[in-house]
Amino acid sequence: MEARSARSAERIATIHMRRPRHALAFIALTLLASGCEHSDTTPYTGGDGSVPLAMRVVADSVWELRYHDPTGESRIRVRTQVPPMSDSTPFAFGTWTLYRVPGYSPRALLAALAVAHSIPDTVTPGSPADSMRLDVAVLAVNAARSRDGAFGRAGTGTWIVAKLFFADDEGEVYLNLNPSRGEAEFSVKDKDYGPVVLREIGRLRAGSERGRD
């Protein structure tokens, strides 16, 4: 219990720390995200620290996320828990679940995430899994976003801004969702987390699929 409390306190502290260039910065409920809006058919070209996704609802609180570029297509699903947010509770912790989608490989998504994190696409994924439960910090709900990619305060738009924690906080990545527009994105929190993020998301594959081509 003490270890979990300490981990939560550390997460709260890191929310307000300065982020590296091309990552999201969180200062008093303001998120600075590099890049601009993308459509689901725009190939990821790297350089802005984010990976664009299309999203659609498939069940109550379950969304399918789709990444597509000329090399292929990846799909995963996420079950979310979005708690009520207010000025007195600017962020909250919860548990989300990622699922693999049968018939789709994470290979194309992993390659894009490698570019976003500025690392070689040579990370060996962990053992295959149909799903994985992740701790998450929900940082803003119904946030607006400006043309330069910055998120405004909660309650002024349609974005959900969250940070996913992998492997007991060994890796972190932002997952931003806009259900009303069918858009989402992974965004780099820290490039040093890249190998862990790729290793863990790479687990969402069929047991017969090799970890590396």
Q: Which of 12-16, 77-81, 139-143, 151-155 has the highest mean pLDDT?
A: 77-81
* Alpha carbon distance 109, 201 (integer Å): 9
Strands of 25-27's sheet, edge to edge? 25-27, 30-32, 150-151
> Which residue spans within 88-158 are E strands per DSSP?
92-100, 131-143, 150-151
10-33 pLDDT, tens digit per residue, is 555 454 433 333 333 332 223 323
Q: Judge contact between 187 and 112, C-beta under 8 A.
A: no
Q: What is the DSSP string of 170-210?
A: TEEEEEEEETTTTEEEEEES-GGGHHHHHHHHTTSS-TTS-
What is the value of pTM for the model shown? 0.78
Amino acid 28: pLDDT: 27
Parse the chain into domains and list their residue ranges.
2-201
| Nearest-angstrom CA–CA distance, 73 and 169 | 28
Burial track 169-198 (b if 16+ CB lie within 10 A, e otherwise): eebbbbbbbbbeebbbbbbbbbbebbbbbb
Please tell me the predicted confidence (pLDDT) of residue 39.
Answer: 37
Average pLDDT over the chain, rounded to whole? 80
Q: What six digits make up the tokens of 88? A: 């007195």
Model confidence pLDDT, tens digit, residues 47-68: 478 999 999 999 999 999 999 9
